[in-house]
Amino acid sequence: MEDLLKSIMLGLASGGIYALVAVSYVIIYKSTRIFAFSQAGMLVIGAYTFWQCLVVWSLPIWISILITLAIAAAIAIIIERVSMRPLIGQPILAPIVVTLGVMLFLRGIALLFWHGEVEGYGEAFLPLGVWHVGFLSLPKIQVYGFIICMLVIALLISFYKYTRTGLGMRVVHEDHLVAQNLGINVKRIFQYSWIFSCAVAVIGGMLLGNIQGVGLDLDANGLIAIAAVLFGGLESFGGAVIAGLAIGIIQIFAIQYLGALLPGEITMLVPFVFLLLILLIKPYGLFGLVRIERL
Amino acid sequence: MTINVDRPCGTFDSNYYQAMEIFRTPLRKFLMIAFIVLLYAIAFILDDYIISILIVFCAFSIGMTGLQIITGYAGQISLGHAAFMGVGMYTMAVFQEHLGFNFWFALPLAGLVPMIIGMLFGVPAVRIKGLYLAFASLAAHFVIVYAINNWRSVTNGTDGMYLHRPGVLLGIDFMIDKYYYILVLTVTVIMIYFAKNLSRTRLGRAFVAVRDNDIAAEVMGINIAHTKVLAFGIGCFYAGIAGAVGGGYYEYVNVEWFTLTDSIWYLGFLVVGGLGSIFGAIAGAVVWKSLDELSTLVTPITEALLGGMAFYASAAFSLVIYSLIVIVVLVLEPRGINHRWQIIKRSYRLHPFPY
C-alpha cells in the first residue's frame, strides 16, 4: 500500500509536467490543426534560457521568468510568421515537416549556445528538500512543480472561458471559416495560440530542468507528451491533463513492476508502447473528436 | 504522376500503354542507359574516397525511394525510416553471425524482416488518416532502438555488430571497394526500376488514389487498410535493403547510427528533393549526403577557428543549417528540386517560346 501510494505520487509529479506539455501541443492543434513537434525543442530552449538568466547572470527569479517568457513569445511569433503562415492550406505533410525542422533547429541553437552540457538550477529556482507527510516523503521541487503546472493549466482554461480573446479562440477551434465570417482575425488567433503554447512549453521546460537537469535530452519529455496528447484526444484540454497524469503514473508503475522483467532503460519505451495500444484500441483518444468526412 | 502530361516534342500517344511507358522516347531511353553505363564506368577511374561517397549516395537513394513510396506515392508519413534502415543492417548482421548465411541469402531477408516489422507497426495506424502513421512510426523508432539496445544475446547491445561483404563471386572480389560499389549500384538500379515501375501498376495507382483522397479511393473499391499497410511495408523493405548494402560497406553496424534526427532528415530532404517522383527521391538523398560530406570537409576549418568547441559547433551547425534548408525549401518551393528540374526541362524543350 505504501509503495502504491508512493508510486502514484511520483507518477502524478512527472505526469503533471507531461500534462502541461501535452496542453501546449493541444493549444496549437486545436486552433491551427497542426501538430507542432517543435514544442519538444521549446522545452530545451526554455530550460537553458532560464538557466542562463538565473544562474549565469544571477538575475532575480521574476525577471528571469519574464525574460524566458518574452523569448518564448518572440520565438513563437517568428515560427508562426516565417514558417507556418505561408503553409496555411498546404497538405498536412508540409507543416509537419516544418515543425520537425524547427524542433531540430531549436536543438541546434541550444547546442550552439550551451554546448549540450547538463546544468542545474541548484537552489535558485524552487526550494530543495523534502516534506514528510506520514510515511510519504515528497520532494519539494516535485510538489511545487505539480502545483505550478496545475495553476498554469487552470489559468489557461479560465482565459479561454472568460475573456473575449479566449472566446474568439474557441470559435476558431470550431471552424476557421465561421470565425473569419464573424469578424475574428484568424491569423491573429493563430499567433496567440503559438505564443501561449510556447510560453506553456517553456514553463514546462523550466520545471523539467529543475527535476531532471538542464540538458538537450529534455526534448524526450516532449516526445513522451505526444503519447499523452493522443491518449487524451488531440482536441481536448481536459483529456490532455488526465492523460498526462495517467502517462506519468503508468510510466512509474511500469518501471516499478515491469522493470525487473525488462532489461535496460524503459522510461521511453513505456509511453510509446502505450501509444501503439491507444492507436489500436481507441485511436481518437479519450475525448477526441471523431471526424466524419464526406467525399 | 502515372501519365506524364509534359510530352516531349513530337510524341503522340495513341493508346494508354504508350502513355504509361517508363521511357517516353528512344532518346530518353538511350540517355538513361548511357547514364547508368557511365555510373558503372567511373568505378574504374575514381579513387576510393569518391567511391565511398557514391556508395553512400546509392544506399540512401534506395532508402529515400522507399520513403517516397510511403510518403510521395501513398501519402503516409513515416518518422521511423532510419530505424527501419537499422533493422535492415541488423538483420543482415544477425543472419550472418548467428545463422551463418552469406551476403546473397541475407540480402532479401534484410528487406523482408523490416517489411514485416513495418507492417506490424503500420496496422494500428490504418484506421485513421493523416498524422497517425507518423505517431505509430515514432513509436516504432523507440521500440526498435530499445530492442536493439537490450536484446544483447542477438544484437550485441550497444557494442554494435560486424557484417560481411560477399566473398569472391565469378572471380570478382567484393572486398575491393570499387567492385562493391558496382554491386551496390546494381542493387540500386534494380530497386529504383521496380519503384518506377510500381507507379504504373494497379497497386501504385491505388497508392496515389489513397494519397489524393482516401474516401474516394475506398468508394472506387480500393481496400484502404491493405493499401496503406502495404505501402508502409514496401517502403520499409527498401529501407532495409538500403541499410543492408550501406552497412555492408562499413562492415559494421551500431545502434547509434540511426537516430530520430536521421528519420527527420529523411522526411525533410525527401521534400527538398520533391514529393511523388523517383528523381526527387534521388535528388533529396544526394543533397542530404553531399551536405554531410561537406560538413566533414569543413571540420578541419572549424577546428582551426574554434579549437575545442569544434565538435559542438559542427554538430550544431549541421542541425541549424539542414533544418534551415528544409524549412526554406518547404516555404518557398514546396514542390522541391524536382519541380525546378521540370521547369528547366520544359524551357529547354520549348526553347524559343516562353511556354
DSSP, residue by residue, B205-259: HHHHHHHH-HHHHHHTT--HHHHHHHHHHHHHHHHHHHHHHHHHHHTEE-GGGS-
Instruction: Identify the band that residue B355 occupies on the pLDDT scale cut at 50, 70 and 90.
Output: low
Out of A90, A98, A272, whose CB is closest to B143?
A: A272
State the average pLDDT over residues B143-149: 87
Residue A233 lies in a domain: no
Q: How far is A99 from chain B (nearest CA, A)?
A: 9
- For residue B316, the tally of other CB atoms under 10 A from its CB is 21
pLDDT score, position A191: 92
Q: Which domain holds residue A113?
A: 24-220
Closest by Cα among B149, B142, B39, B163 to B98: B163
Residue A12 lies in a domain: no
ipTM for the predicted complex comes to 0.88
pLDDT score, position B295: 82
pLDDT score, position A295: 66
Could you tell me what percent of chain B has a pLDDT over 70?
92
Per the CB < 8 Å rule, is A101 touching B264?
yes
Residue A75 lies in a domain: yes
- For residue B209, the tally of other CB atoms under 10 A from its CB is 20
Cell of A90: 498546404
Out of A103, A230, A268, whose CB is closest to B142?
A: A268
Residue A120 lies in a domain: yes
Please report where in the chains the cell 496545475 appears, as a residue. A150
Could you tell me what percent of chain A has a pLDDT over 90?
25
Q: Which residues of A touch B212 (CB under 8 A)?
A: none
SS3 label, residue B161: strand
d(CA A197, CA A37): 12
- Interface subset of B 40-79, CB within 8 angstroms of A: 71, 75, 77, 79
pLDDT over 80 at A294, yes or no: no
Residue B155 lies in a domain: yes
Q: Which residues of A touch B320 (CB under 8 A)?
A: 105, 108-109, 112
Let me know how long chain A is: 295
Instruction: Identify the band that residue B200 occupies on the pLDDT scale cut at 50, 70 and 90.
Output: confident
pLDDT score, position B2: 40
Cell of B328: 526554406
Tens of pLDDT, residue by residue over B103-112, are 788 888 888 9
pLDDT over 90 at A195, yes or no: yes
Could you tell me what percent of chain B has a pLDDT over 90?
14
Long-range contacts of residues B313-318, Cβ cutoff 8 Å, at least 24 apart: B313/A112, B315/A108, B315/A111, B315/A116, B316/A108, B316/A109, B316/A111, B316/A112, B317/A108, B317/A112, B318/A108, B318/B291, B318/B292
State the average pLDDT over residues B189-206: 89
- For residue A279, the tally of other CB atoms under 10 A from its CB is 24
Residue B295 lies in a domain: yes
- For residue A212, the tally of other CB atoms under 10 A from its CB is 17
State the average pLDDT over residues A236-265: 85
d(CA B98, CA B101): 8
Residue B44 lies in a domain: no
Residue B12 lies in a domain: no
Residue A173 lies in a domain: yes
Tens of pLDDT, residue by residue over A266-280, are 788 888 888 888 888
d(CA A167, CA B294): 51
Let me know how long chain B is: 355
d(CA B8, CA B274): 21
State the average pLDDT over residues A187-210: 91
Residue B302 lies in a domain: yes
DSSP A44-93: HHHHHHHHIIIIIS---HHHHHHHHHHHHHHHHHHIIIIIIGGGTTS-TH
pLDDT over 50 at A174, yes or no: yes
Residue B251 lies in a domain: yes
Out of B125, B128, B135, whose CB is closest to A226?
A: B135
State the average pLDDT over residues A214-229: 87
Residues B229 and B122: beta-carbon distance below 8 Å: yes
Measured between CB atoms, does B213 come within 8 Å of chain A? yes
Question: What is the tally of structural domains in chain B?
Answer: 1
pLDDT over 60 at A121, yes or no: yes
Disruptive mutation site among A34, A45, A81, A98 for chain B (greatest number of B CBs within 10 Å): A98
Residue A44 lies in a domain: yes
Tens of pLDDT, residue by residue over B293-303, are 888 887 777 77
Question: What is the tally of structural domains in chain A?
Answer: 1
Per the CB < 8 Å rule, is B130 touching A92?
yes
Residue A244 lies in a domain: no
Q: Which residues of A touch B312 (CB under 8 A)?
A: 111-112, 115-116
Report chain A's terminal Cα–Cα distance, integer Å.
54
Tens of pLDDT, residue by residue over A131-160, are 777 777 778 888 888 899 999 999 999 999
Instruction: Identify the band that residue B93 occupies on the pLDDT scale cut at 50, 70 and 90.
Output: confident
Instruction: Identify the band that residue A23 occupies on the pLDDT scale cut at 50, 70 and 90.
Output: very high
pLDDT over 90 at B12, yes or no: no
The model carries a pTM of 0.89
State the average pLDDT over residues B234-245: 92
Residue B27 lies in a domain: no
Instruction: Identify the band that residue B190 occupies on the pLDDT scale cut at 50, 70 and 90.
Output: very high
pLDDT score, position A258: 80
Per the CB < 8 Å rule, is A279 touching B125?
yes
Q: Which domain holds residue B234?
A: 50-349
Per the CB < 8 Å rule, is A35 touching B315?
no
Residue A264 lies in a domain: no
Mean pLDDT (chain B) is: 83
pLDDT score, position B308: 64
Q: Which residues of A touch B131 (CB under 8 A)?
A: 35, 92, 96
d(CA A157, CA A160): 5
Cell of B263: 528519420
Instruction: Identify the band that residue B329 occupies on the pLDDT scale cut at 50, 70 and 90.
Output: confident
Instruction: Identify the band that residue B8 occupies on the pLDDT scale cut at 50, 70 and 90.
Output: low
Closest by Cα among A75, A287, A96, A111 to A202: A75
Query: Between A and B, how many residue pairs show a Cβ–Cβ distance under 8 A?
Result: 135
